A = this chain, B = another copy of it.
Amino acid sequence: MVELAPKSPFDREKQFAAKRRKVILSAASAFRRRGYHNTSMRDIGEVLGLTKAALYYYVKNKEEILFESHLMAYGEMDEILKMSQTEAQSALDYLELIFRNFVKLLTQSGVSILSDVDSLSGERQSEILKRRQRIERAVTKIVKQGQADGSIRGGDARLHVFFFMGALNWLNVWYDNKGRVTGDEIANHFSLQLRRGIEE
């Protein structure tokens, strides 16, 4: 409840933004575990010691929370994709690195890929789908590069991608921090399985 006391006159906005972010992250985590519709505004507030009414001070409505949590996840994934590719490595190496970081993102940060896209309506839904597509395209592009540079075997690049992106999404369903398997172990295992699955 009590945070580090802010002194300078202008962290107002920051303070607000930070708490808003907390709301969204916390909600996203609940959405991931229980699903969007099985999580009430009351539930979301409770975790943070707030009434559901208080949430509306930070967000316009529930859908906005879902929307923003999607944005957040895809934002992080964009960051990972932006990592500069070392010249030396093959496209496969590059892809493996990206995938490893995706796994880390999902297992170690609070961020989670969400799938209740259908609960978003109109513009928001299509924006999120565009973001997902953009990521899929970027990854597919790398796969194609790999097929060109000889590090990745042929075949429908999109199918290659769907396969291992599926593994990633499914991770969200079963992975639980408290399990015996650590995020690093998963990252290692998964990136090897990815590599073997598509290498030349």
Within 8 Å by CB of A193, from B38, B160, B181, B190, lies B160
In the complex, A75 has a CB within 8 A of chain B: no
Within 8 Å by CB of A197, from B118, B168, B196, lies B196
- A169 pairs with B171, CB closer than 8 A: no
Residues of B within 8 A of A38 (CB): 37, 118-119
Which residues, 36 to 60 on A, are CB-close (under 8 Å) to B?
36-38
Residues of B within 8 A of A97 (CB): none
Residues of B within 8 A of A156 (CB): 181, 185, 189
Residues of B within 8 A of A174 (CB): 162
Contact with B along A118-152 (1 / 0, CB 8 A): 11000000000000000000000000000000000
- B35 pairs with A159, CB closer than 8 A: no
In the bound complex, CA of A167 to CA of B164 (Å): 6
6 further A-B pairs in the complex, CB-CB below 8 A; given A163-B167, A166-B167, A197-B197: A155-B189, A159-B185, A159-B190, A159-B193, A162-B170, A193-B197
Q: Which 4 A-B pairs have the closest CB atoms?
A: A166-B170, A197-B197, A37-B37, A166-B167
Binding site for B on A (CB under 8 A): 33-38, 115-116, 118-119, 153, 155-156, 158-160, 162-171, 173-174, 181, 185-186, 189-190, 192-194, 196-199
